């Protein structure tokens, strides 16, 4: 079903209903979130979740590490808190009655879902098929390169940043990767943490589908997972 066939209000109600079914609890306008939390190691990230990116590898926390817990996103706006809540609740999902699931290629479908939870409204180029058939969604909803092209044409939604502009990246922004530096985009995720290290360098972590991860290091992804890969970002206005 295209966005013209259902009002934005009805769509938003659907997102809220989905959150309720998933057991996500938003308190004080989305400030606090209770759900199944990932626990691995000690320390606390800027998002308030008990956090250590798996050892020195930065590979991120995988589905087998999920335990019961509570995370607090009260430092962020209501929209970003809702986006992170959705992402954290669903980062290891492999199916969805509402959005479907693309085996081996669900990263943009998942990122789009998080943006919808943040409050983005669908339009004629970025929308999902309510039948749950992920292959029926708009190209910009499910393709990394198509999402890049869409955002380039809609600067009101996001501003392009290179990896040299990490100082401008915020939690809740979109990260995209070109694994082989070929000019297209091969993977997309949601920024979950931005930390300035003692030496002044900036560490960025992200969540994504396929393979599912929470708090994976961008640096690890482009040096170890895909050596020579390039990271890009889309800065989203609050």
Three-state DSSP string of the chain:
CCHHHCCHHHHHHHHHHHHHHHCCEEECCCCEEEEEEECCCCCECCCCCECCCCHHHCCCECHHHEEEEEEECCCCCHHHHHHHHHHHHHCCCCCCCCCCCCCCCCHHHHHHHHHHHHCCCCCCCCCCCCCCCHHHCCHHHHCHHHHHHHHHCCCCCCEEEEHHHHHHCCCCCEEEEECCCCCCCCEEEEEEEEEECCCCCEEEEEEECCCCEEEEEHHHHHHHHCCCCEEEEEECCC
pTM metric for this prediction: 0.77
pLDDT tens string 108-129: 999 999 999 999 999 999 999 9
Q: What is the pLDDT of residue 64?
A: 40
Question: What does the pLDDT average to over 192-218?
Answer: 96
Across the chain, mean pLDDT equals 79
For the ranges 19-28, 53-62, 104-113, 173-182, which has the lowest average pLDDT? 19-28
Report whether pLDDT(163) > 60. yes
- Give how far the C-alpha of residue 10 lies from the chain's centroid of Cα atoms, to the nearest Å: 23
Report whether pLDDT(165) > 80. yes
236 confidence band (pLDDT: 50, 70, 90): very high
60 confidence band (pLDDT: 50, 70, 90): low
61 confidence band (pLDDT: 50, 70, 90): low
């Amino acid at each position: 079903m295209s966005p013209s066939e259902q009002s934005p209000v009805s769509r938003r109600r659907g997102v809220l209903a989905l959150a309720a079914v998933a057991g996500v609890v938003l308190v004080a306008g989305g400030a606090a979130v209770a759900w199944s939390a990932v626990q691995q190691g000690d320390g606390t990230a800027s998002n308030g979740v008990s956090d250590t990116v798996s050892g020195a590898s930065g590979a991120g926390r995988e589905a087998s590490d999920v335990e019961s817990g509570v995370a607090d996103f009260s430092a962020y706006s209501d929209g970003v808190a809702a986006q992170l809540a959705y992402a954290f609740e669903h980062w290891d999902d492999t199916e969805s009655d509402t959005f479907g699931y693309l085996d081996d290629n669900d990263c943009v479908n998942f990122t789009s879902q998080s943006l919808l939870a943040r409050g983005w409204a669908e339009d004629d180029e970025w929308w999902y098929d309510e039948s749950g058939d992920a292959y029926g969604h708009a190209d910009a909803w499910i393709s990394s390169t198509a999402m890049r092209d869409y955002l380039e044409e809609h600067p009101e939604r996001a501003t392009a940043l290179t990896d040299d502009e990490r100082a401008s990246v915020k939690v809740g922004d979109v990260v995209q990767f070109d694994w082989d530096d070929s000019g297209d985009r091969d993977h997309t995720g949601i920024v979950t943490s931005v930390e300035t290290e003692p030496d002044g360098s900036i560490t960025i972590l992200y969540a994504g589908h396929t393979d599912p991860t929470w708090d994976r290091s961008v640096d690890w992804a482009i040096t170890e997972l895909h050596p020579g890969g390039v990271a890009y970002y889309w800065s989203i206005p609050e």
